[in-house]
Amino acid sequence: MSADLNTLSLADLMRLKAKGRLDIHELVAACDRRVRARESEVRAFEHYDFAAVENQIKALGPDILPLHGIPFGVKDIIDTRDMPTTWGSAIYADHYPARDAGIVATLRSAGGIVFGKTVSTEFAFLDPGKTRNPINLKHTPGGSSQGSAASVADAMVPFALGTQTAASVIRPAAFCGVVGYKASVGEFDLGGVGNLSQTMDSLGFFTRDAEDLVILRQALLGSPSDDAIPERKKWKIGFVKTAHWQQADKAYRELIEKMGEAFATDGHEWRVMTVGPDSTDLADAQVTVMAYEAARARMPEYRDRAAELSPNIKALIEQGLSIPLSRYQSARRLALKAREELKRALLEHDFLMTPSTTGEAPATLEQTGDPIFSRMWTVMGAPAITLPVGRGPAGLPLGIQLIGAVGEDGVLVQHAVELQEYLRSRA
């Protein structure tokens, strides 16, 4: 059984733990074997040292903590006191932070074990890292949290941390066939997390099961009362095609439309709708806000070491520097207006649903895929969860994205758990 421990979800591991049947030494050994067997192909880790893992296990006290001995991956823009944090940049190749990021310290305090630093694109922007999609190594795993998504999808760790400023959790999770949760802006502390956009950066998690998100939220936040939702036999689902619907692959659009028909057949309400201003305007607003804020966040590197930056990040910074304050403020006002309209829409629906991506992971390692179906939700600061819903024509995973109201993450997570069970029952 120990050889399969690395394939279990966090929820399954917790059930073994509750029965006194989880040996954390066997778990980390199984994860280590998987990394050693697959890392040369998948390339999920920027830094991996099993000796550091063993040191953390030795420092654990009695098994009284909720995540006692559970290994997890950390995106390489998130500070760790005992491992380098490079932000995907050669500029910081030898950078060792003085302390953990708040989220890492909290997970360690809950008994979690940092298993390694997972690959990030440069400063969590566009340039691909070295990671391959574990489902098909010739395809991108997405970005920018590519190493975290791949490490969970390939059973190297049960969960991993990521971040999102455009689509950096939702897209790689969908491409790699795992659950991805992008939190509301401000839901989790971002101290010690490399920043790109002060108003849009959000923490994210990659797991194998939606139930895992409940466990992680409990370990990090306690048991918020708003995580409980009334038992509901029928959902009211608002499906938002957005103005970019035709950019999704035909087979993917057909799969989603069949899902809608199945919901309706089972008595659920499936309403095709719009939310907020024109979604093309919101996508443009996200680009404007990201460029303007990234230019300020990454000014130290641009000012002092521009020659070591990639053309893409330099272009983003220069784009941001050229944006007038009035245009930036207009984009922010549009996003805040849309956030209020989203809140009103969710008074009449249990959750909204929209494509996670344009389709399967592209057959390339030169780019990370189109973020278009996440931009509008990210600029609003809304929580989003992608669940696997099958495979496309090339045999790669497809996901469906759930959207909730800002600050109502617990409710969205519970809906994701229920929806996951529903989808499995129909598979």
Q: Tokens 């897209």 appear where?
A: 171
> 142: helix, coil or strand?
coil
Closest of 213, 187, 209 to residue 200, by C-alpha: 187
- Are the C-beta atoms of 244 and 280 separated by less than 8 Å? yes
**Residue 6: which region, alpha, beta or left (left: phi > 0; alpha: psi -120 to 50)?**
alpha
> Residue 395, Cβ neighbours under 10 Å: how many?
9
Angle of the 10-18 helix axis to the 210-221 helix axis, nearest 10: 70
Q: How far apart are CA 303 and CA 296, in angstroms?
A: 11
- Are the C-beta atoms of 63 and 57 separated by less than 8 Å? no
Radius of gyration of the chain from its Cα atoms, rounded to whole angstroms: 20
CA dihedral over 108, 111, 112, 115, signed as positive or negative: positive
> Residue 113, Cβ neighbours under 10 Å: how many?
25
Separation in Å, CA 63 to CA 111, 220, 361 = 8, 18, 40
- Are the C-beta atoms of 340 and 207 separated by less than 8 Å? no
Q: How far apart are CA 299 and CA 393, in angstroms?
A: 43
Strands (E), 231-383: 236-240, 269-273, 351-355
Residue 242 structure tokens: 């957005």
Separation in Å, CA 45 to CA 120, 140, 181 = 9, 15, 20
Residues noted as catalytic: 75, 144, 168
Pairing of β 113-118 and β 71-75? parallel
Closest of 357, 331, 355, 354 to residue 342, by C-alpha: 354
